[in-house]
A and B are shown apart, each in its own frame.
Chain A
Amino acid sequence: MAAASERINVFRPRTLADLLSLKRRKPDVSLFAGGTYILQNDTGKYPELLPAIASIRHLDELKRIHRTERYIELGCCVSLAEINRIGGETIPDVLIQAIRSIGSPPVRSLATIGGNICARDKRLTLFPVLLLLDTRVELREHGGSRWASLTRLVDAEGNLHISETEILTRLRIPLVDWNYQYHRRLSAGPVSDRWSLSFCGIASTNRGILTDFRCIFGSMGKVLLRNREIEAELVSRKVPLLERDLSAIYRDFEAYVKESAPSMLSPFQVGMAGKMIRWFLASLGA
């Protein structure tokens, strides 16, 4: 058990400009918004925190929500409870489904959307969903900002890359009328990466033809599985899909999973992934 620590230096910037300035002077300061991931993984009486912390939850500039006809922007400190309250009329329903699969209401009132995607060592529940929705993120540092696709934040091994002086401040989620939105999370614990699996599938159809199809799997570890070739192959097919098509796609997908992450997924995860993609494909147009 870690002891009570007076060595922890807590900064409390008053504005976003203060925070950016602090980050420039002290790049090693780590940001603390909801803290649920950190504290759920350290169950000692005194959780071990990094020596320099900037508490950012109170900054109004990071809690703003802005909607246009084409997209919705969420500040990184918007809580999951707040997004859940806004609901699927305004925010893609698949994101709401994913949020409802996370913790309980008291946990969601603390957890923030920025915190969920910025966990250093794991890609948590919302990352694959936001990736599928073509989310872009704003990264700011003192004197500048840039927008980047969420895919640019992680390397091939699933490690997060945000420069030490940059802060993820906003997320921009395009609003598209998806006819089918489905999220399912199987979990044996909040962060068990051998027994957890999340599936997210979205699709659009027009007059019985599949016009767009995307799906992704996350493992609550670093593994994210998405095969754009299989997705592209499915576009412009008639739905419901024929049984022989379903079987062929299932075989392709199984081969892809075994080839791309043979040692990173447990047999349970591989088996469940196959079942979920088959079910989702069969539900299209049914």
Chain B
Amino acid sequence: MTVSFLLNGKSVSLDVPPNKRLVDVLREDFHLEGARPGCYAGECGACTVFVNGELTHSCLVPVFAAQDTDIITYEGLADTQEMKYILAGFDAVHYHPCANCRQSRLLTAYALLTTHPVPERREIDAFFSGHRCGCSSMGELYTAIEQAVDMRRRSGRHGRR
């Protein structure tokens, strides 16, 4: 079937089996490899993308359900200033999640800091509860997020409750 949607701001259309998962469509048909197939059960969080502005596990979306939606992947936000602060914050405290979940964690951090400019730890916990990879600890994650907030604050952008 033919499915059309907005992908990183561009209108796209493709002919694809309706039961193909969105994560596979992004990787195999559009070569956007930030979202990774992990558990195919919506538990590991490696395939996280934005669908209509909401963080979503793309392995739980058959492509027919993506019709007319607005999808943003890590690649669509990699060059934004917000993502640069997050990357800088992660690097500054040497927080390096594994290759399988790195981009999805960055995307989740982006969603967190967009809605909670100075997040509390329980808000960090809530946003990252969809990530099950054991490659890094929550303590490291708190430090990295706090560092990103600090860097953004020092640059004079947002950062006040």
Contacts and interface: CB of A to CB of B under 8 A. Distances in A.
Interface of A: 2, 4-6, 8, 10, 12, 32, 35-36, 39-40, 43-49, 53, 55, 57-58, 81, 103-107, 109-110, 190
A110 B19 contact: no
Nearest to A8: B18
A36 B65 CA distance: 12
Interface in B3-35: 17-21, 24
Given A35-B62, A40-B41, A46-B20, A110 B67 contact: no
A45 B60 CA distance: 11
Contact of B19 (A43, A49, A107): A49
Contact of B17 (A6, A55, A104, A190): A6
Contacts of A110: 42, 56-57, 60-61
Contacts of A109: 51, 54-56
Given A35-B60, A39-B41, A104-B130, 8 more contacts: A4-B17, A8-B19, A32-B65, A43-B39, A49-B18, A55-B64, A105-B130, A190-B43
B87 interface: no
B89 interface: no
Contacts of B20: 4, 46
B128 to A, nearest CB: 9
A107 B39 CA distance: 14
B60 A44 contact: no
B62 A45 contact: no
Contact of B129 (A12, A35, A55, A105): A105
A178 to B, nearest CB: 25
A10 B56 contact: no
Given A43-B40, A45-B21, A110-B57, A104 B45 contact: yes
A106 B17 CA distance: 24
Chain B contact patch, size range: 20 to 34
Interface in B56-73: 56-57, 59-62, 64-65, 67-68
A12 B129 CA distance: 33
B21 A58 contact: no
Contacts of A48: 19
A49 B63 CA distance: 12
Contacts of A40: 41-43, 60
B48 interface: yes
A150 B73 CA distance: 40
Contacts of B54: 81, 106, 109
Nearest to A3: B17
B57 A5 contact: no
Name which of B18, B24, B48 has the most chain A CB atoms within 10 A of its CB: B18
Contacts of A104: 42, 45, 129-131
B127 interface: yes
A8 B17 CA distance: 8
Contacts of A6: 17
A38 to B, nearest CB: 9
A107 B57 contact: yes
A35 B20 CA distance: 13
A213 B55 CA distance: 38
Name which of B24, B45, B64, B126 has the most chain A CB atoms within 10 A of its CB: B64
B2 to A, nearest CB: 11
B64 A10 contact: yes
A214 to B, nearest CB: 29
Contact of A45 (B40, B67, B68, B126): B40
A105 B17 contact: no
A5 B19 contact: yes
B40 A44 contact: yes
Contact of A10 (B1, B21, B68): B1
A37 to B, nearest CB: 10
Given A45-B21, A47-B21, A39 B62 contact: yes
